[in-house]
Amino acid sequence: MPEITAQMVKDLRDRTGAPFLDCKNALNDSDGDIEKALDLLKIKGVAKASKKASRETPEGSITSYIHAGGKIGVLLEINCETDFVARNEEFQQLSREIAMQIAAANPQYVNSGDVPESVVEKEKEVMKAQVIEEGKKPEIADKIVEGKINKFFEEMCLLEQAYIREPKTKISVLIQNAIAKIGENIVVRRFERFQLGEPLD
C-alpha cells in the first residue's frame, strides 16, 4: 500500500472540507487513490446527512437572486439549525447556488411530495394516452408511464433536478454534501421565481 502523506490528506481536505481523520481513513481504505477516497467520503457524508435530516431547522436566511439584467428574480427561504451557520459563508454560498438553480431551471415545487396528486394523475393520463398513441400495448404502458413520471419529477422538482454546474449531481445530493460538511441539517422551505412579463394567476 502506498504511503499516505500529509499532503495527500491536505489535498483531500481542500477538495471536500471533511475532517482530517475522515480524509486519512478514506485514503487508507482506498489504498491512496484520491478519486476512490472522494467516493468513500461522499457515501459517508450522505449517511451523516440522513442522521441529521430529522433535526429542527428554526434558523436560516432569505436569499434573493436577480438574473438576466433584471428579467428573472428569485426569493428563496433555506433553513438550518443555528444562527451561527446561517451567517456562515458556506451556507450563504449554498443558498446563492440554489437560487441560481431556480432562476435557470425554473422548478415548480421543492420536492416530489409537494406535487398535488391531481397534477400527478393528470400527467399520467396524458402520458399513457401518448404511449398508447405511439402503438405501445396498454399492459406495458403503465411501466413506461412510471419512467416518464420520474422524468417529470426531475424537471419540475428542485431537489430532483440536476445541478446546473455539475449535471451528474442532484440538488438533493448537493444539500446532503453541505449538511455533511457544515454539520447541521439544511432544508429548502420554499421559493418564488419571478419572470418579467409572465402572466399573473
Q: Is 91:178 a contact under the CB 8 Å cutoff?
A: yes
For residue 7, pLDDT over 70 is answered with: yes
Across 135-139, 164-168, 189-193, which has the greatest mean pLDDT?
Answer: 189-193
The reported pLDDT for the residue numbered 52 is 60
Q: Is 163:107 a contact under the CB 8 Å cutoff?
A: no
Could you read off the pLDDT of 59-110 as tens digits, one per residue?
999 999 998 789 999 999 999 999 999 999 999 999 999 999 999 999 999 9
Which of 34 and 61 is assigned the larger pLDDT? Answer: 61
For the chain, list the domains and their CATH numbers: 6-52 (1.10.8.10), 59-111+157-195 (3.30.479.20), 116-155 (1.10.286)
